[in-house]
Amino acid sequence: MKKSFRLEGLDCANCAADIKALDGVTEVTVNAMTTKMVLVADDDKMDEIIKTAEKIVKKHEPHVVVKKA
């Protein structure tokens, strides 16, 4: 399953490596210029992966707002 998100206020893409390491994640791209994150992961794990990915983004940049694109 593929999902896209807007990361409002994103300054860097360092969170991508941490998200990529999550179990069930096939691919993740984070573009600091467009503030877009595209996440490809197992359907059955997607909800939990999204919650964890949001926590990872907030750990790197607490001011970022994660919205579905």
Per-residue model confidence (pLDDT) at position 69: 85
Give residues with Cβ within 8 angstroms of 23, minimum separation 6: 45
pLDDT in tens, 21-66: 999 999 999 998 999 999 999 999 999 999 999 999 999 999 999 9
Q: What is the pLDDT of residue 34?
A: 92
- Report residue 8 as tokens: 């409002």
Structural domains in the chain plus CATH codes: 2-68 (3.30.70.100)
Output phi, psi for 26, to 5 deg.
-90, -40
Q: What is the DSSP letter of 43?
A: G
Check residue 67 and give its pLDDT.
95
pLDDT of residue 65: 95
